[in-house]
């Protein structure tokens, strides 16, 4: 019996635009073990959110395979997905637009309970709602308030409570703290971590913030222009980052250190290129300091350089 | 064991809107005018007898100028214009409100479908709306009324067509913005069927521009209905519809101009009140828009 | 006469709304000396942006009211300048960079024209050709090829747009550059590029900079001096080295503890408990007292004054009245 809750094979999502095919996600493969966290890191436009939404079938993938607990859900339609909605949930980035402004807190949190008939009877629903609010640290006096009356941190807790309402196994967290202030960010991160321990949750943690991902993830995948360029355990990735893009990302973090321990910064040139009509060459080659001819011949595939550490770079081939 | 929770006092968006609307003098004046008008129109049925006082002729009192006895004077066959105006409000208001309501329901459904699903449904619905939009309202109404015959119900239907196109457009535009919001994705993520998402999350959130449009459209529809009656294809005579009254007074423009002026002023005042209310609602519903 | 380019003295700004008074800025004092970069750090609602807008007397009025205080730019009080002269100061002596580069640029003008316009406004003697030449020179300086001068903002990426905004801001050699979260909307690798550029240009143009940010990492990168703001008060002020390495205020310590950055994976973060106070109902006493792990009874008595703790390192915390008080971070 394997412990793999989610398996994604060669997932692709192309959008047709006026300029041509936009390769939002271009052949992504990974597995997530039960109870662990996979961090997906990358800058805007790298396809990390599209990946997360495809897993939940909020976006229809172009090709590839998605296996949830061994069940191939790639071609499930809305109705067939419905029972699975209690198994997998999502927490959104924007605590403003992810909550319906016309619903009260209790309506927002109890909606999934009612939709899936998980709890029957008005009183039982109210009880469960209050329980959920307590779990995420929302004072019960707030049940009848509206989202616009609350601050970002509390709103994000509402989103978490709503996701937890169905008792899911897997939660996709799409930049759950990047809209929050640092002190609140830490509160929410601690909460998510505690919930994982208490409820045995599996997370896919999508973020642009390497510091957050380091704190949070067991495994990390770095994405660039729709593809994974490096994938390994969190410890390995920070100990020996191998892909030039991973190295660049790490050194671009502004560390809050002044004085002697300050790490050296290395800038990379240029900006992310457009993911439309990509040629068959290393996608990072235009910004990379190590580009050689081999890089322009074809797009390198992921290669295992040490157990569990994969890199897609011509230099390691 | 019962647990009592002290709940934080909260304000829904609706109560916030009312709080802001109360500060807008014009909107409140408009609202009061409309409320009074509606009450008066309802009461007129109990005060006046339709057969004798509203359409019954009384030649001995014809063409009397406004006085303390006849506040708005009497017309060419001696009917009390004040009574007819009040009674006529029933026609004007119910025809315009009724046609806007029919237009509202069909427009919201069509607009929501077009905006939410996009694609072919969107193309078909919106192209038809575009065509209807390109034809003047009155003309559509004239065509429909002349095809179906002149009656109050047909007038209602005729006027609702243009209301429906305008609601369909507005609804579609807001639905398309709301469709991209994360709370719609969130509803998808819990497996809610589309029709339920539209009813529960999409439509309630695009009500603000629609509410404003309702008030403004009732105003323009009153004018359209009156124009049709003025042309003689609206509410059949001798019913005291405002436009018809205006039309009947035409022959006496020189000798008894008040027969024309008073219904005209009443139409103007009602539409103005609706517009004031509509503008106030717009500001109150979207405080960010206010400069 | 002082050496300070910008001096803010006891600034108080309120927003008088229908629902009540928002106490946005409650008596802050700051100074930036020649060649310095001051980082104004704080979370949402701390009053950072209001402070910046006050410098140009741009606080939206109503509802904003500058209740009291002085803002001296090169010893001229900005708050008592007549509107016409103020107009001259804006853009020429003081330039601002905002968070969102898209809304700061005019979508129907080419970027070259926009930079040239800014040059023209303040150098009336320049001919049109001179201005365009200068605009191209500015573009080169912010690392954009001058052949792109004829591009419109939507043809540029976010990072490039922010570079254009910087070019516009620096085009007339301002004495003071105010940057309000200039890199928050950018990706990390682009942020690194833009920060490096700002640092370099600041040197070349010899301006002083007020950098407003919530990101301590960015502050560490570019600032010489740091002022930490909380609920409209400055709670700590000093050189970047001192504030980062010998932190004095419990709030500043809380900010550092909240960052997951350098901590080993898996260890629990230590967030500041509770939330920012409602700026309409600030707590009596020290504004940070309700969230402070070191709180004492006397903290509730009044907002402590900003006191020098040696080497121009100021802190507003009553705990330092006793000699042996130390934050956990430092012990």
pLDDT band of residue B150 (cuts 50, 70, 90) is confident
Query: Do A181 and A215 form a contact (C-beta atoms < 8 A)?
Result: no
Per-residue model confidence as pLDDT tens digits over B169-179? 999 999 998 98
Q: Is B40 exposed, middle or buried (0-12, 13-18, 19+ CB in 10 A)?
A: middle
What residue ranges define each of the domains in chain A, with the CATH number in brackets? Answer: 4-87+168-265 (3.40.50.300), 101-166 (no CATH)
Give the closest of A90, A116, A145 to B10, CB-based: A145
Separation between Cα atoms, residue A275 and residue A16, nearest integer Å: 11
Q: Which residues of B touch A145 (CB under 8 A)?
A: 8, 10
Q: Which residues of A touch C245 (CB under 8 A)?
A: 258-259
Separation between Cα atoms, residue A273 and residue A176, nearest integer Å: 26
* B4 pLDDT higher than 50: no
Nearest by Cα to A232 from A317, A284, A139, A308: A308
Q: Residue C178 has what pLDDT?
A: 92
Separation between Cα atoms, residue A177 and residue B42, nearest integer Å: 57
Those chains having 3 or more beta-carbon pairs within 8 angstroms of chain B are A
Q: Where are the alpha helices (DSSP H) in A200-266?
A: 210-216, 234-239, 244-252
Give the closest of B6, B182, B191 to A92, CB-based: B182
For residue A142, the chain B residue with the least C-alpha distance is: B8
Count of pairs with CB atoms under 8 A, one residue in A, one in B: 82
CA distance C38 to chain A (A): 14
Separation between Cα atoms, residue A297 and residue A295, nearest integer Å: 6
Count of pairs with CB atoms under 8 A, one residue in A, one in C: 122
Per-residue model confidence as pLDDT tens digits over C100-112? 877 888 889 999 9
* B192 contacts A98? CB cut-off 8 A: no
* C260 contacts A272? CB cut-off 8 A: no
Query: Do C237 and C29 form a contact (C-beta atoms < 8 A)?
Result: no
Separation between Cα atoms, residue B108 and residue B206, nearest integer Å: 10
Tokens 């800058």 sit at which residue?
Answer: A43
Residues of chain A with pLDDT under 70: 1-2
Angle, to 10 degrees, between the axis of helix B152-179 and the axis of helix B207-230?
Answer: 160
The SS3 of residue B18 is helix
* B2 pLDDT higher than 70: no
Give the closest of A181, A251, A254 to C43, CB-based: A181
Length of chain B: 291
* A93 contacts B186? CB cut-off 8 A: no
- Mean pLDDT across the stretch B30-52? 86
Q: Residue C261 has what pLDDT?
A: 62
* C188 contacts A252? CB cut-off 8 A: yes
Annotate A7-33 with DSSP letters as a single string.
EEEEEEEEEEETTEEEEEEEEEEEEEE
- Mean pLDDT across the stretch B228-235? 80
C-alpha A107: how far from chain center: 26
* B289 pLDDT higher than 60: no
Hey, is the C-beta of A272 within 8 angstroms of any chain C C-beta? yes
What residue ranges define each of the domains in chain B, with the CATH number in brackets? Answer: 24-51+80-289 (1.10.3720.10)
- Mean pLDDT across the stretch B151-163? 86
* B186 contacts A159? CB cut-off 8 A: yes
Length of chain A: 317
* A151 contacts C276? CB cut-off 8 A: yes
Tokens 């009254």 sit at which residue?
Answer: B245
Give the closest of A43, A186, A259 to C245, CB-based: A259
pLDDT band of residue B9 (cuts 50, 70, 90) is low
Q: Residue C266 has what pLDDT?
A: 57
CA distance A13 to chain B (A): 18
Per-residue model confidence as pLDDT tens digits over B258-288? 888 888 899 899 999 999 998 888 888 775 5
Q: Which residues of A touch C189 (CB under 8 A)?
A: 43, 248-249, 252, 267-268
* A102 contacts B204? CB cut-off 8 A: yes
* A185 contacts C221? CB cut-off 8 A: no
* C157 contacts A252? CB cut-off 8 A: no
User: Which residues of A touch chain B, with CB atoms under 8 Å apart?
Assistant: 53, 56, 58, 78, 81-85, 89-90, 92-94, 97-102, 104, 111-112, 115-116, 130, 140-146, 148-149, 159, 162, 166
Q: Which ipTM did the prediction report?
A: 0.86
- Mean pLDDT across the stretch B229-238? 78
CA distance A124 to chain B (A): 13
Neighbours of B50 (CB within 10 A): 14
- Mean pLDDT across the stretch C27-45? 90
pLDDT band of residue C248 (cuts 50, 70, 90) is very high
Separation between Cα atoms, residue C63 and residue C280, nearest integer Å: 14
pLDDT band of residue B82 (cuts 50, 70, 90) is confident
Give the closest of B8, B182, B190 to A111, CB-based: B190
Query: Do C9 and C80 form a contact (C-beta atoms < 8 A)?
Result: no
Q: Which residues of C touch A209 (CB under 8 A)?
A: 188
Tokens 């029972």 sit at which residue?
Answer: A83
Listing from the earlier edge strand, what are the strands of the sheet with A63-68? A20-33, A4-17, A63-68, A71-72
Q: Which residues of A touch B13 (CB under 8 A)?
A: 101-102, 146, 148
Q: Which residues of B touch A83 (CB under 8 A)?
A: 191
* B188 contacts A58? CB cut-off 8 A: yes
CA distance A177 to chain C (A): 12
Hey, is the C-beta of A260 within 8 angstroms of any chain C C-beta? no
- Cα torsion B116, B120, B125, B126 to 10°: value is 90
pLDDT band of residue C264 (cuts 50, 70, 90) is low
| Residue of A96, A198, A256 for testing the chain C interface, max C β-carbons within 10 Å | A256
Quote the percentage of chain B above a pLDDT of 90: 26
Per-residue model confidence as pLDDT tens digits over C193-239? 888 888 888 888 888 999 999 889 899 989 999 999 999 999 999 99
Q: Which residues of A touch C217 (CB under 8 A)?
A: 253-256
Q: Which residues of A touch C243 (CB under 8 A)?
A: 258
Q: Residue B5 has what pLDDT?
A: 47
Per-residue model confidence as pLDDT tens digits over A202-213? 999 999 888 888
Q: Is A277 exposed, middle or buried (0-12, 13-18, 19+ CB in 10 A)?
A: exposed
Separation between Cα atoms, residue C247 and residue C240, nearest integer Å: 10
* B109 pLDDT higher than 50: yes
Those residues with Cβ within 8 angstroms of residue B1's Cβ, 6 or more apart along the chain or in another chain: none
* B41 pLDDT higher than 70: yes
pLDDT band of residue C158 (cuts 50, 70, 90) is confident
Give the closest of B5, B8, B181 to A145, CB-based: B8
* A181 contacts C217? CB cut-off 8 A: no
User: Which residues of B touch chain A, with CB atoms under 8 Å apart?
Assistant: 5-8, 10-13, 181-183, 185-194, 201, 204-205
């Amino acid at each position: 019996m394997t412990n793999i809750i989610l398996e994604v094979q060669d997932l692709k999502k192309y959008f047709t635009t006026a300029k041509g095919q936009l390769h939002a996600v271009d052949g992504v493969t990974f597995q997530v073990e039960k109870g662990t966290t996979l961090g997906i890191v990358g800058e805007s436009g790298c396809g990390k959110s599209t990946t997360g939404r495809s897993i939940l079938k909020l976006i229809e993938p172009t090709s590839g395979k998605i296996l949830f607990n061994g069940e191939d859900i790639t071609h499930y339609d809305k109705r067939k997905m419905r029972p699975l909605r209690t198994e997998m949930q999502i927490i959104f980035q924007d605590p403003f637009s992810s909550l319906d402004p016309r619903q009260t807190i209790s309506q927002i949190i109890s909606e999934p309970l009612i939709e899936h008939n998980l709890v029957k009877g008005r009183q039982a629903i109210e009880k469960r709602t209050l329980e959920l609010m307590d779990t995420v640290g929302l004072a019960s006096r707030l049940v009848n308030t509206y989202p616009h009356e609350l601050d970002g941190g509390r709103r994000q807790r509402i989103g978490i409570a709503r996701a937890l309402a169905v008792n899911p196994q897997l939660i996709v967290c799409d930049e759950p703290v990047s809209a929050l202030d640092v002190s609140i960010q830490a509160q929410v991160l601690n909460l998510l971590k505690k919930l994982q321990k208490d409820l045995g949750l599996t997370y896919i943690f999508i973020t642009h913030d390497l510091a957050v991902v380091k704190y949070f993830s067991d495994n990390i995948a770095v994405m660039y222009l729709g593809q994974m360029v490096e994938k390994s355990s969190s410890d390995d990735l920070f100990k020996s980052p191998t892909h030039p893009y991973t190295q660049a990302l790490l050194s671009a973090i502004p560390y809050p250190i002044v004085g002697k321990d300050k790490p050296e910064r290395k800038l990379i040139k240029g900006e992310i290129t457009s993911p439309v009509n990509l040629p068959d060459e290393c996608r990072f080659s235009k910004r990379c300091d190590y580009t050689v001819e081999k890089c322009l011949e074809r797009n390198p595939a992921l290669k295992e350089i040490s157990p569990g550490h994969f890199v897609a770079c011509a230099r390691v081939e | 064991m019962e647990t009592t929770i002290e709940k934080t006092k909260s304000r829904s968006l609706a109560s916030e809107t009312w709080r802001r609307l109360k500060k807008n003098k014009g909107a409140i004046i408009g609202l009061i005018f409309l409320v009074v008008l509606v009450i008066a129109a309802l009461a007129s049925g109990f005060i006046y007898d339709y057969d004798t006082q509203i359409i019954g002729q009384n030649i001995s009192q014809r063409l009397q100028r406004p006085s303390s006895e006849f506040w708005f004077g009497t017309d060419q066959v001696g009917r009390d214009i004040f009574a007819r105006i009040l009674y006529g409000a029933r026609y004007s208001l119910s025809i315009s409100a009724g046609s806007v309501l029919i237009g509202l329901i069909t427009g919201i459904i069509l607009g929501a479908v077009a905006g939410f699903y996009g694609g072919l449904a969107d193309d078909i619905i919106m192209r038809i709306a575009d065509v209807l939009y390109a034809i003047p309202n009155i003309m559509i109404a004239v065509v429909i009324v002349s095809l179906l015959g002149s009656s109050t119900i047909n007038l209602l239907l005729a006027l609702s067509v243009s209301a429906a196109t305008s609601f369909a457009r507005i609804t579609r535009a807001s639905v398309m913005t709301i469709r991209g919001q994360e709370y719609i994705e969130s509803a998808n993520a819990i497996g809610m069927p589309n029709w339920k998402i539209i009813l529960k999350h999409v439509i309630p959130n695009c009500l603000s521009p629609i509410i404003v449009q309702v008030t403004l459209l009732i105003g323009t529809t009153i004018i359209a209905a009156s124009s049709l009656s003025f042309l003689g294809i609206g509410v059949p005579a001798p019913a005291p519809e405002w436009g018809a009254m205006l039309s009947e007074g035409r022959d006496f423009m020189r000798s008894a101009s008040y027969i024309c002026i008073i219904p005209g002023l009443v139409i103007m005042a009602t539409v103005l009140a609706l517009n004031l209310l509509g503008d106030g609602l717009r500001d109150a519903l979207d405080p960010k828009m206010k400069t | 006469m002082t050496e300070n380019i910008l001096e803010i003295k006891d600034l108080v700004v309120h927003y008088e709304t229908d629902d009540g008074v928002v106490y946005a800025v409650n008596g802050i004092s700051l100074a930036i000396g020649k060649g310095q970069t001051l980082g104004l750090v704080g979370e949402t609602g701390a009053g950072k942006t209001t402070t910046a807008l006050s410098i140009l007397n741009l606080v939206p009025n109503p509802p904003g009211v500058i209740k009291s205080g002085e803002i001296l730019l090169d010893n001229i009080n900005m708050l008592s300048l007549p509107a016409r002269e103020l107009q001259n100061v804006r853009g020429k002596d003081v330039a601002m960079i905002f968070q969102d580069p898209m809304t700061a640029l005019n979508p129907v003008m080419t970027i070259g024209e926009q930079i040239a316009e800014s040059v023209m406004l303040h150098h009336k003697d320049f001919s049109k050709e001179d201005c365009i030449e200068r605009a191209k020179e500015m573009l080169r300086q912010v690392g954009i090829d001058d052949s792109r001068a004829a591009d419109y903002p939507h043809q540029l990426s976010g990072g490039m747009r922010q570079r254009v905004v910087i070019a516009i801001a620096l085009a007339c050699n301002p004495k003071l550059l105010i940057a309000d979260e200039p890199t928050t909307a950018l990706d990390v690798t682009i942020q690194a590029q833009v920060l490096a550029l700002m640092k370099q240009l600041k040197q070349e143009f010899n301006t002083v900079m007020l950098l407003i940010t919530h990101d301590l990492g960015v502050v560490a990168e570019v600032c010489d001096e740091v002022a930490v703001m909380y609920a409209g008060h400055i709670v700590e002020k000093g050189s970047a080295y001192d504030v980062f390495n010998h932190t004095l205020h419990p709030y500043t310590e809380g900010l550092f503890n909240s960052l997951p950055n350098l901590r080993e994976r898996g260890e629990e973060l230590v967030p500041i408990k509770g939330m920012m106070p409602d700026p309409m109902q600030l707590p009596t006493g020290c504004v940070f007292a309700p969230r402070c792990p070191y709180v004492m009874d006397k903290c509730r008595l009044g907002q402590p004054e900003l006191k020098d703790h040696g080497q121009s390192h100021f802190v507003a915390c009553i705990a330092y009245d006793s000699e042996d008080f130390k934050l956990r971070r430092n012990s």
